[in-house]
Amino acid sequence: EPEVTQTPSHQVTQMGQEVILRCVPISNHLYFYWYRQILGQKVEFLVSFYNNEISEKSEIFDDQFSVERPDGSNFTLKIRSTKLEDSAMYFCASIPTGLDLNTEAFFGQGTRLTVV
């Protein structure tokens, strides 16, 4: 069964460092997302990406964050200068198309980011 894959599964970084979280969405999917979940809290929307550009972003997704689809398969989330409060689980998700609003979103297994 096709799946969304994320790497690394766990990343520890020092405050102020840049990190890049990687995702490979399911190959025929067109909409991509990043969500984050701080330990014990809800899953929060960060950004959606369609047709090689940001479709929507939340207030959390400030200038420290950026997304890219560099090669047609990978979908990356970059945090330029990490803060302690960026420590969270980051989930990538994808859906096949933007036309069917009842379609399921498929989530990767997540990257646990720990900022120290």
Site residues, other proteins (CB under 8 A): 31, 33, 35, 41-45, 48, 50, 55-56, 89, 91, 93, 95, 98, 101-102, 104-105, 107-110, 112
User: Nearest CA to 67 among 33, 43, 36, 29?
Assistant: 33
Alpha-carbon distance of 88 to 108, in angstroms, equals 15
Residue 50 token pair: 């369609």
In angstroms, give the least distance from the CB of 25 to other proteins. 13
In angstroms, give the least distance from the CB of 49 to other proteins. 10
CB closer to other proteins, 17 vs 55 = 55
Q: What is the number of helices (H) and of strands (E) in the chain?
A: 0, 11
In angstroms, give the least distance from the CB of 78 to other proteins. 21
CB closer to other proteins, 91 vs 115 = 91
- Say whether the peptide bond before residue 8 is cis (omega within 30 degrees of 0): yes
